[in-house]
Copies of this chain bind each other. A is one copy, B any other.
Amino acid sequence: MPRYPNSAGSLSDIGGAVYSSLAHRLVTHDGPVYPLHVGDTWLEPADGCRMEDLKVAEHPGMHRYASPQGVPALIEAIAARVGRRTGVEVARESVLVTGGATGGIGAVMGAILDPGDEVLVLAPYWPLITGIIRCFHGTPVEVPFVGPVDSVETAVAAVEHRVTPRTSALYLSTPNNPTGRVFPESWVRALVEWAADNDLWVVSDEVYEDYVYRGEHTYARGIDPQRTFSVHSFSKAFGMAGNRCGYVVGPRRMMSELCKVSTHSFYSTPTASQLAALRALDGRGDSWVAGIKGRYRQLGDRAAERLGVDPPEGSTFLFLDLSGKMPEGGLLGLLEDCADRGLFLAPGPSFGSYPNHARVCFTSAKPELVERGVEILAEILSR
């Protein structure tokens, strides 16, 4: 039991310190920096959807609390959009606006986990997912997936192999962060149906739904809306990561439980961020996506070609297997070598058991910076 001077036991498994040498280099590096370790965009949000566009004269009280569920007009717009996209009607009560997708997934995990409950996490995975589960005293169970899985049968076998009586949910992310893969519809369907056979919740992280370059995005909610929490974000869709505004759509009867958790985590999503999101949903956001998607794809394709890997199917990432290209210092040594030249990559172990991988984001800096960063990496790898 922790008392002063100790901290919660659940946090000791949440890492970070190993890479403090990289963080230090990021802060102290002289010369140009290529920050390809962050999942973000170099672009500003669409005109009309920026903070400077939100005037008190037009929105009196816009610096006051919003309702914990969200601004009513935004909830309505989200319900309409998700209903259209998934083909399943969405009640307003099924929507919760959250502090980014992070806050949304936190609300889900807080609402479904008792201490010691397990969540199957398809790997490689979004780095925050295991920490979110641990914060609520759950246990993440890594399921090696992208790579080993190449069919519906192997997809189901992968999860089947790791389910226990304590398993509460299955977490998946497609378009996948960090691999850039888009799961085929048949896999998503098989996974959701398998979850149903095992009485599990499905937590479907779909924040890159708008960035699919090959194949098609599958909405898990369309398959089993009573079981699925789908998590979306304005951050990735419309270049608003700093606004911290995302949303969860889930089974209506569970949403008040989620709202209890979000209310007690950050109370409400920032009011101005919700107003900006509402503006983006009037068409300006989709135009912004239409205007930039081709450029994102081109950047991903070029980076993949230069690095000798398959082009991304979606998202804004490449996940590189660097086995056989390691210097003596292993992955950390390699990442330090990159950092010494101003290039920052996300280390593979943040995404699961990937001691020899690194993630590159090909949209986190201006295209010329991304291209130069990729060039530096190619040089370092082939030395």
Chain A residues close to B by CB (< 8 Å):
1-11, 14, 16, 38, 40-41, 44-45, 50-56, 60-66, 99-100, 102-103, 106, 110-117, 128, 131-132, 134-137, 165-169, 195, 199-201, 226-227, 239-244, 251, 254, 256-257, 260-261, 263-273
Contact = CB atoms under 8 A, between A and B. Distances in A.
Given A51-B52, A60-B44, A63-B44, A264 B7 contact: no
A31 B9 CA distance: 53
A339 B298 CA distance: 59
A56 B52 contact: yes
A195 B5 CA distance: 12
Given A166-B1, A168-B3, A272-B51, A64 B102 contact: no
Contacts of A9: 114
Contacts of A265: 99, 102-103, 106, 132, 135, 265-266
B7 A112 contact: yes
10 contacts: A6-B112, A8-B136, A62-B242, A65-B242, A102-B264, A106-B264, A135-B264, A137-B137, A243-B270, A243-B272
B56 A62 contact: no
B10 A114 contact: yes
Main secondary structure of the interface of A (DSSP, over half): loop
A335 B103 CA distance: 33
B2 A113 contact: yes
Contacts of A111: 7-8, 11
Q: Which 10 A-B pairs have the closest CB atoms?
A: A242-B271, A99-B266, A51-B51, A131-B264, A102-B267, A7-B257, A115-B115, A132-B264, A51-B272, A103-B266
A186 B240 CA distance: 47
Contacts of A135: 110, 136, 260-261, 264-265
Nearest to A10: B114
Contacts of A64: 40-41, 241-242
From A7, A38, A271, A273, name the one whose CB has the most chain B CB atoms within 10 angstroms: A7
Contacts of A136: 8, 135-137
Contacts of A1: 114, 116-117, 165-166, 168
A56 B115 CA distance: 44
B38 A63 contact: no
Contacts of A50: 56, 63
Contact of A242 (B7, B45, B66, B114): B66
Contacts of A264: 14, 102, 106, 128, 131-132, 134-135
Contact of A240 (B56, B63, B266): B63
From A53, A64, A169, A240, name the one whose CB has the most chain B CB atoms within 10 angstroms: A64
B4 A100 contact: no
A200 B137 contact: no
B128 A254 contact: no
Contacts of A266: 99-100, 102-103, 106, 244, 265-266
A62 B265 CA distance: 24
Contacts of A132: 264-265
From A106, A132, A134, name the one whose CB has the most chain B CB atoms within 10 angstroms: A106
Given A50-B56, A55-B52, A63 B272 contact: no
A110 to B, nearest CB: 5
